[in-house]
Amino acid sequence: MVYTKSLVRTREANIPQTKSLPHSQWGRWHAQRDGRGAPRAAPFLTFLAKISALTMCAAVHTMIVERYEEGAGSVRMLKKDVAAEYSVLIQKFRLIDDTFFNVCFDNYTEGMQLLLRIFFGRDDLIVKRVVTQQSADNLYGRGVRFDVLAEDSEGKLYDCEVQRANEGATPRRARYNSSMMDSRELAHGADFSELPETWVIFITENDIYRAGYPLYHVERIVQELQRPFDDGAHILYVNGANRDDTPLGRLMQDFFCERPEQMNYKELAQRADYFKAEAEGVNAMCELMEKFGEKKLEEGRLEGREEGHREGVIEMARSLLTLNVPIEVIEKSSGLTRAEILAL
């Protein structure tokens, strides 16, 4: 059943709210949030590093209006006077886009619990903690930044990544993410048996193995014995191209849906709608993007990074093209000509 409801409501509606995590050790990853419990800036920072020089990060007005819908009996707070290109970008976001995925699932245990229950067919799975954009540093080489990290009531850890390009979900990247999860979980002198069970999960836009399966489970085995190696490390590929009428297929439909009112699962619909249409959610997105954009503009001016500025604009334009943002909007936002954009 498609999740439908009135397009008009009050702030008191049952919108999932983010809450600050306690600053306790969890595999040495700590939740970093502002004092109001608002969504962390990190997912936006990654995205906006690519669009730092855009005019779309110019001043955004915050005039809020109330609009009544006939027969609804409630009020929805809408944001007006948002720069046109800015508004278009926000409305185009889908859960398969890593920026929006990170924002929506930051500290959102209910949403991550829904995903994992569907992936593993377990209605009893309980998620205890969720954080996004956590870094695992490596003193001797490349570090890694995880999209979403979750821990369940059994102590299992899940690294959940969304990948639109197959190149971002290669076997060796999965291997590296898995190893970096392990590297942060074992204290000095601890026994190896204390390593938690881990899952690296890639939600891919395409059927990466082209075999038509909704899920691909990757496990190490002892080849001669054809027995599981049983090291507690697992990899799972979720085929985003599978959008049939099953719980998993309907979940993938939601991941590629731009309009919250058309989503199947209310947990995801409410969350997406909060950041796309609720005054507080839209304000949070606009303010974070605006502040970071201004900061990066100033840094670029002071450091004279004209070449870097140009590269950032081009990369941003490519990202907007993948979101099907109109060419006219990209022209205005980036300063590139139509011919330059079409040539990307």
> What mean pLDDT is predicted for residues 281-296?
63
pLDDT at 128: 96
Domain assignment present for residue 78? The answer is: no
Structure tokens at 216: 């691909």
Look at residue 322 and tell me if it is in a domain.
no
The residue type of 198 is T
Indicate if the pLDDT at residue 151 is higher than 90. Answer: yes
pLDDT the model gives residue 150:
96
Closest to 202 measured CA to CA, from 237, 167, 173: 237
Residue scoring higher pLDDT (323 or 163): 163
In a domain, 216, yes or no: yes
pLDDT in tens, 124-139: 999 999 998 776 666 5
Lowest mean pLDDT among 9-18, 204-213, 233-242: 9-18
Largest pairwise CA distance in the chain: 69
Position 311 confidence tier, pLDDT thresholds 50, 70, 90: confident
- The residue with greater pLDDT, 42 or 94, is 94
* pLDDT for 32: 37
Is residue 195 assigned to a domain?
yes
- Six-digit token pair at 198? 């881990």
CA distance 233 to 231: 6
Q: Report CA dihedral (154, 161, 168, 313) to the nearest 10 degrees.
A: -150
pLDDT at residue 158 tops 70: yes
> What residues pair up with 67 in beta bridges, in sequence order?
76
pLDDT tens digits along 19-35: 434 333 354 444 433 33
Higher pLDDT, 48 or 222: 222
Residue 5, in any domain of the structure: no
Model confidence at 99, pLDDT cuts 50, 70, 90, reads confident
Q: Is residue 191 part of a domain?
A: yes
pLDDT at residue number 237: 98
Q: In which band, very low, low, confident or very high, does the pLDDT at 309 lie, cut at 50, 70 and 90?
A: low
Confidence at residue 62, expressed as pLDDT on a 0 to 100 scale:
29
| Neighbour-count burial for 156-186, b at 16+ CB within 10 Å, e otherwise | bbbbbbbbbeeeebeeebbebbbebbbebbe
Query: What's the predicted TM-score (pTM) here?
Result: 0.66
Residue 189 included in any domain: yes
What whole-number percentage of the chain has pLDDT above 90?
41
State the DSSP string of 250-313: HHHHHHT-S-GGG-S-HHHHHHHHHHHTSHHHHHHHHHHHHHHHHHHHHHHHHHT-HHHHHHHH
Mean local confidence (pLDDT), 138-146: 69
Distance CA 218, CA 204 (A): 15
Q: Which of 78-92, 286-300, 308-322 has the lowest mean pLDDT?
A: 286-300
Residue-number span of the structural domain to which 254 is assigned: 98-273
Q: What is the mean pLDDT of residues 95-100?
A: 88
- Per-residue pLDDT tens over the stretch 240-270: 999 999 999 999 999 999 999 999 999 999 9
Please report whether residue 10 resides in a domain. no
Q: Domain tally for the chain?
A: 1
Q: Which pLDDT score, from 0 to 100, does residue 256 have?
A: 97
